[in-house]
C-alpha cells in the first residue's frame, strides 16, 4: 500500500533456544500447499498433500477399474515455473501393499509397485491441474483445496505489512518499499471482512480455500491513498497469521507480505 510510514515499530528480538538439531540454510521460500485437495463436484476421491520445504508427499485416494477403493502415493518435487507463474511439481506414482488388517506388522510383506506418474500445475495457492497415469490410464482434472470446516482469520495481532511498487506510470516510483507496522485487527462487519492497520483499512470479501483464505477488497489510508487489494494464502493459527497480497492505486502496482503474532488475552 503506497502510504508513508507514520510510526516505527519497536524492535522485537526473538531468541532461539539452542538444541541438538541444526537448522538447514534456506535456499528458497515455497508456497505451502499442504491440504486436502479435490474436485468440489466429484465427492468421494481426492488428494492429501503434506509439504516440508519444497517437497510434497501426497496420497491419492480414488476408485480402480472395478469401482473398488484404491490409494496411491507419490513424492512430488519442483519441476519448473511457467511464464504465467504456474508452478509444476511431479513424481512417480506407486501402489503399495503390505501386512493384512489386524495382523502384526511384517516389513517383509511391504511391496511398492510403480504404476505411473503424477503431476500438479499450481495456478495459484488454491487451484491446480492434476494429471496422473495409472497402468496406462490417463486422467486430468482441475482440483482445489477442499473446505470441510470453517477457518477464521479474525483476531487481534501485532505485526506489519510490507510491500514494494512495480509497473508504475512514473518509472522513478518503482521499487518503493512501504511498511505499516504495529497492532492490527481482522473483524467481521456484516458481510465484510475488515483489516485495520495503523495507517490503512481494508474492507473486502473473505473466501475460504481449505486451510487458507483470501480477502478481495479496497484499501483507504490516512494519507488519502486508495486502491484495490487482494490478500491471498492467508492462514491463521494459534500463534499468528501470515499471507501475501497484491494491489494497485492510480499510478502503481504493488505486492507484499503480511505477518503478525496473535495478541494474548
Question: Could you tell me the CATH number of the domain that includes residue 222?
Answer: 2.40.128
Of 145, 172, 199, the position where a domain reaches its end is 145
Average pLDDT across the chain, whole number: 90
User: If you average pLDDT over residues 38-60, what whole number do you get?
Assistant: 97
Give me the pLDDT at residue 30, please: 80
pLDDT above 70: residue 182: yes
- Number of Cβ within a 10 Å radius of residue 38: 23
Give the total number of structural domains in the chain.
Answer: 2
More confident residue, 23 or 141: 141
Of 124, 145, 166, the position where a domain reaches its end is 145
Domain assignment present for residue 29? The answer is no
User: If you average pLDDT over residues 131-156, what whole number do you get?
Assistant: 97
Alpha-carbon Rg of the chain, whole angstroms? 22
Domain assignment present for residue 7? The answer is no
Same domain for 64 and 82, yes or no, is yes
Domain assignment present for residue 247? The answer is yes
Give me the pLDDT at residue 214, please: 97
pLDDT above 60: residue 138: yes
User: If you average pLDDT over residues 235-259, what whole number do you get?
Assistant: 97
Domain assignment present for residue 13? The answer is no
More confident residue, 40 or 29: 40
Cell 511384517 appears where?
Answer: 106
pLDDT above 80: residue 134: yes
Q: What residues make up the domain containing 56?
A: 35-145
**Alpha-helix residue ranges (DSSP H) falling in 2-74:** none
Of 87, 121, 145, the position where a domain reaches its end is 145
Domain assignment present for residue 88? The answer is yes
pLDDT above 70: residue 148: yes
Percent of the chain beyond pLDDT 70? 89
Give me the pLDDT at residue 6, please: 31
Same domain for 139 and 173, yes or no, is no
Same domain for 164 and 102, yes or no, is no
**CA angle, corner 170, sides to 165 and 172, nearest 5?**
70
User: If you average pLDDT over residues 169-175, what whole number do you get?
Assistant: 97
Same domain for 141 and 208, yes or no, is no
Cell 510510526 appears where?
Answer: 7
Gap between the terminal Cα atoms of the chain: 29
Task: State pTM to two decimals.
Answer: 0.85
Same domain for 193 and 238, yes or no, is yes
**Alpha-helix residue ranges (DSSP H) falling in 105-162:** none
Same domain for 238 and 175, yes or no, is yes
Same domain for 129 and 43, yes or no, is yes
Give me the pLDDT at residue 1, please: 64
Answer yes or no: are the C-beta atoms of 115 and 93 closer than 8 Å: yes
Same domain for 136 and 172, yes or no, is no
Same domain for 131 and 178, yes or no, is no
Give me the pLDDT at residue 264, please: 87
Same domain for 47 and 127, yes or no, is yes
Q: What is the largest CA-CA distance in the chain?
A: 71
Same domain for 219 and 248, yes or no, is yes
Same domain for 238 and 139, yes or no, is no
What pLDDT, in 10s, does the model give residues 68-115? 999 999 999 999 999 889 999 999 999 999 999 999 999 999 999 999
Amino acid at each position: 500500500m503506497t502510504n508513508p510510514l507514520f510510526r516505527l515499530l519497536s524492535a522485537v528480538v526473538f531468541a532461539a533456544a539452542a538444541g541438538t538439531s541444526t537448522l538447514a540454510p534456506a535456499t528458497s521460500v515455497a508456497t505451502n500447499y499442504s491440504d486436502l485437495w479435490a474436485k468440489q463436484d466429484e465427492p468421494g476421491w481426492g488428494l492429501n498433500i503434506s509439504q516440508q520445504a519444497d517437497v510434497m508427499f501426497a496420497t491419492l485416494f480414488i476408485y480402480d477399474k472395478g469401482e473398488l477403493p484404491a490409494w496411491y502415493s507419490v513424492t512430488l518435487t519442483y519441476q519448473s515455473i511457467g511464464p504465467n507463474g504456474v508452478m509444476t511439481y511431479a513424481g512417480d506414482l506407486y501402489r503399495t501393499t503390505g501386512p493384512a488388517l489386524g495382523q502384526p506388522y511384517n516389513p517383509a510383506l511391504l511391496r511398492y509397485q510403480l504404476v505411473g506418474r503424477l503431476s500438479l500445475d499450481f495456478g495459484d495457492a488454491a487451484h491446480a491441474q492434476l494429471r496422473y497415469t495409472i497402468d496406462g490410464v490417463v486422467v486430468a482434472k482441475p482440483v482445489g483445496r477442499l473446505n470441510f470446516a470453517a477457518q477464521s482469520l479474525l483476531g487481534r495481532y501485532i505485526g506489519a505489512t510490507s510491500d514494494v511498487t512495480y509497473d508504475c506510470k512514473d518509472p522513478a516510483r518503482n521499487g518503493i518499499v512501504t511498511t505499516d507496522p504495529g497492532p492490527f485487527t481482522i473483524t467481521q462487519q456484516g458481510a465484510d471482512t475488515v483489516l485495520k492497520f495503523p495507517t490503512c483499512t481494508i474492507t473486502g470479501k473473505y473466501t475460504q480455500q481449505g486451510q487458507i483464505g483470501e480477502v478481495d477488497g479496497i484499501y483507504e489510508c490516512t494519507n488519502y491513498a486508495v486502491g484495490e487489494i487482494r490478500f491471498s494464502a492467508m492462514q491463521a493459527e494459534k500463534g499468528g497469521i501470515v499471507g501475501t497480497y497484491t494491489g494497485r492505486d492510480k499510478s502503481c502496482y504493488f505486492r507484499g507480505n503480511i505477518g503478525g503474532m496473535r495478541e494474548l488475552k
